[in-house]
Amino acid sequence: MEMQNLDKLVQFRHDIHQHPELGFCEHETSRKVQGYLDDLGIDYVSGIGKTGVVAWIKGTSEGSDRTVGLRADMDALPLEETSGVDYSSKNKGCMHACGHDGHTTMLLGAVEHFHANRDFAGTIYFVFQPAEEGVGGGKAMVDDGLFERFPMDEIYGLHNWPGLPVGTFGLIPGPLMASGDRIDVTIHGKGGHGGLNPHGCIDPVRIAADFINRAHTIISREVDPLNPAVLSICAIESGDISGFAVIPDTARMSGTLRSLDKDTRNVMVAALERLAKSLEAYYGCTIELQIEDKFDVTFNEAGATESATKVIRETFGGDALAEGHKPSMGGEDFSYMLAACPGAYVHVGAGDDEHTHGLHNPGYDFNDKIIPYGVQLLTGLALESLGKQNRNT
């Protein structure tokens, strides 16, 4: 798939890939996005949700004041890059391991398209979101008045998807990506000598092991087996590895909950709370349990999903829509925007023989071949949304 300005977009993507920034710290990335918009003479407002940017283009055709939003994320991850590409990250311990550099680039490609092709009725908003990676950028933009300041009838977003081949798209109505919670557990026991008087201690390591084993049975025995759910304790920290005979005072753990509906989430939360209280009573310890709601279910509205399906089939062919695409238990804080405004989220196939690493892998690199697919998808979604709304006016 060819684009006249593809080289320019790839160069921009490689530039921000070399200079990744974590959530709410995307000052340079945001500045570069604003510079791209300035060069085109596009109106925008910065500083929305801290480092977010919203640009807009009004069509020259008459007859409608309808609006649509297109969104991309800008932040990177705290990983040390091992991809080996010649434009690898120059910021130690930080890399674009999820392709947000590519998403930002594709949205700028859509801006450039509509800058040159304004023969449509309505207004298109381009939302450059900060801090998607679990730190609440989508919610921050909504709380900062995104939809009050820039009213949108619909909003669309996309994400590259290495599990699908280039040229295919994943899209389903309803839940597409899971809600996500962070679990933090601190066990306060009583330390001592692991050889001399273990019976006089309240061993937090032992309690942590029991907590982990019991927590990992919640899915199989408390959650409806027809409702997808994940509960994972992913990290534990206690004592000093060199203190082989020292029972520590405390143990800390962290993990995550994932579900596709609120009822299932509530079942897991209640079970963890009961578990913590029961272990406190049995062992005589104190357990602090914190469960932080990081993002909602990413829910595709039926009408917007139908529109996106039409765009994919008409633009890329009838076989471009992946058959049997299933929801992902990964999370996405675009969910906060979809909860406030009807819309849909699309997975864009990015897998080929040269790009075999998955998302959040230190060897991952965004596949530049899909930039034209993303630009055409975004532009098609905007025009279909405005056209559909105009037809319904």
Please list the active-site residues. Answer: 75, 132
Provide the token pair at 298. 């990413």
Residue among 256, 250, 101, 290 at smallest CA distance from 182:
256
Those residues whose C-beta lies under 8 Å from the C-beta of residue 50, and which sit 6 or more positions away, are 24, 130, 131, 137, 140
Q: Dig out the tokens for 389 from the structure.
A: 């709304």
> Which residues lie across from 311 on neighbouring strands?
none
34 token code pair: 């604003």
Among 49, 13, 18, 50, CA closest to 33: 13
Alpha carbon dihedral 16, 22, 27, 32, in 10-degree steps, equals 20
Of 292, 296, 378, 300, the C-alpha closest to 332 is: 296
d(C-alpha 242, C-alpha 330), whole Å: 36
* DSSP tag of 353: T
Question: Exposed, middle or buried, 254 (CB in 10 Å: 0-12/13-18/19+)?
Answer: middle
CA distance 35 to 156: 24
How far is Cα 345 from Cα 71, in angstroms, rounded to an integer? Answer: 10
Burial class (CB in 10 A: 0-12, 13-18, 19+), 135: middle
Q: Please, is 392 exposed, middle or buried when counting C-beta atoms within 10 Å of its C-beta (0-12, 13-18, 19+)?
A: exposed
Q: Which of 178, 174, 238 is nearest to 209 (CA)?
A: 238
Strands 174-188 and 286-295, bridge-based pairing: antiparallel
